[in-house]
Structure 1
């Protein structure tokens, strides 16, 4: 069990970050297609709410009502809960609960399913980006890998079991691409690039698993792509038509570019000196390229009777 002094989640126990997590801090508003808006913020957690969450995670707390009631501040409730979860190695579970879609139900209800999915993805990505802006100067970041919320040194490698992808089809690819394009239209290029990279990674993992193999480290997209090429015999050689070889070479470039842009321009690392500015037409190109690549890989798997 990690001690508080060595537990990287300790970095989240600042008043600024706790104010984000308990819903005190709000950023710009998110606008739905019908013109209604909601704040880009975590759901507001009242004192009774925090006592309920604490009890849920094995730290029984009660909230007293009436004049003279001796309650802790909301900041203290969450600070104590985070300390408890670190001691029990459950900080990732706590963050997954706080960021869970169901926690945003009251704020996002009343809209269509696709709109809710897009809004939820946008809001949570923005919040994590703001947290990473606070962690950045210490050289750290909060990143999400599957269902795991991890605090790590920026760019460091964390071994997490590759998620099992239940099903990917053309509708799924179209849905993720639409969400990414929505980010582009809202000038949120970082989030769009992240979604593009995630779509390719998920597609690679899916077709690898369909061959009965275990995906390579999901943090290295080029390694995943090489595994796909090996399993599905997607090689350039002298016996293959020149035009096909040219196409496959172009696909290599697409994957490499998206993988590199994910490291330099995505919303995972906050704002740093190594980030480069991109324009809307570049972001659109990334989204469309990822969608095309994912659809092609899915077609290759279908042709090989893997799906």
Structure 2
């Protein structure tokens, strides 16, 4: 009789090694985990018979999790769901007394919900980087996408959900997309934000040019979007269905958010208030920009087709 259990990627065995276990339990980035802390972790995932030294406990947990096909679920919890607010507060206190542990976030010197969350996010990324340094010896790495953990080949490229190449007949835009991917792979996340914003701006400009719509090229993406929405007849109207209105409003908010992220976080501005983003957020921003661009280009293509038919 075949088991209904899903077989886990065999590469997760690589997580169960002493250097990585030490990173998870010794408190170098996250909090120090006592024996009882580790036992409690195991119980959350149905592993109860653990003993020995602390690192042996986690080694046993990882072994049983792999058999159960639950290593990925455990790592998701450890990196994203486990409460590390206490460590984040300690980092902020060290910053306050001018003893920063991490220069990258040394400017955060006051506790607040927003600051604590930003520091915790940084610590999660820092731990992921350290784990990946160990995994790189085996040509593997963990990637975080939308708060999910996956193990992949070390040289694998981030996945772009949608491609615009089949509908963008513009060498500049295609080149921009390739450069965005390169920045993402090289972990130049601020540059990804800038290029994502520029991608949408370039698509708006292309649509306005194709439809012979006069406009002022002043870099105001909000004005471009308004003109494009009017040109493509997707400007919100009170007679529209409520859900459709909400969808278009949400689309506008997405565009505004990426534009604002570019203004505040990109490589084009040295703001002291910037909040650093990690790889998963950069990938989300680029994917979103690609999908927004694809949506507008497809609507424009349909509009041109209807004109030909008429």
TM-score norm. by structure 2 comes to 0.51
Q: Which residue of 2 aligns with 1:57?
A: 45
Identify if the C-alpha distance between structure 1 residues 258 and 8 changes in structure 2 by more than 3 Å, giving closer, same or farther: same
1:252 to 174, 177, 180: 174
C-alpha distance in structure 1 between counterparts of 2:200 and 2:88, whole Å:
29
Asked whether the equivalents of residues 139 and 155 of structure 2 are also in contact (C-alpha less than 8 Å), the reply is no
- Output aligned runs, 1:246-285, within 5 Å: 250-263=172-185, 265-266=186-187, 285=191
Residue 83 of structure 2 aligns to a residue whose secondary structure is helix
Q: Which residue of 2 aligns with 1:194?
A: none
Q: Which residue of 2 aligns with 1:173?
A: none
Q: Which residue of 2 aligns with 1:137?
A: 137
Q: How far apart are 1:19 and its partner, in Å?
A: 0.4
2:194 to 288, 293, 305: 288
Matched, 1:125 2:125: yes
Identify if the C-alpha distance between structure 1 residues 102 and 10 changes in structure 2 by more than 3 Å, giving closer, same or farther: closer
Matched, 1:84 2:64: yes
C-alpha distance in structure 1 between counterparts of 2:46 and 2:14, whole Å:
22
Asked whether the equivalents of residues 132 and 142 of structure 2 are also in contact (C-alpha less than 8 Å), the reply is yes
C-alpha distance in structure 2 between counterparts of 1:291 and 1:114, whole Å:
24
Structure 1, 9-18 or 141-150: larger mean CA deviation = 141-150
Matched, 1:15 2:3: no
Residue 59 of structure 1 aligns to a residue whose secondary structure is coil
TM-score norm. by structure 1 comes to 0.52
Identify if the C-alpha distance between structure 1 residues 283 and 146 changes in structure 2 by more than 3 Å, giving closer, same or farther: closer
Asked whether the equivalents of residues 21 and 59 of structure 2 are also in contact (C-alpha less than 8 Å), the reply is yes
Residue 99 of structure 1 aligns to a residue whose secondary structure is helix
Asked whether the equivalents of residues 141 and 151 of structure 2 are also in contact (C-alpha less than 8 Å), the reply is yes
Identify if the C-alpha distance between structure 1 residues 126 and 255 changes in structure 2 by more than 3 Å, giving closer, same or farther: same
Asked whether the equivalents of residues 254 and 289 of structure 1 are also in contact (C-alpha less than 8 Å), the reply is yes
Q: How far apart are 1:225 and its partner, in Å?
A: 4.1
Higher helix fraction: Structure 1 or Structure 2? Answer: 2
Larger Rg: 2
Aligned residues: 189
Identify if the C-alpha distance between structure 1 residues 102 and 294 changes in structure 2 by more than 3 Å, giving closer, same or farther: farther
C-alpha distance in structure 2 between counterparts of 1:292 and 1:115, whole Å:
29
Uncovered stretches (5+) of structure 1, i.e. residues with no partner? 27-40, 63-70, 158-218, 237-247, 267-281
Q: Which residue of 1 aligns with 2:146?
A: 146
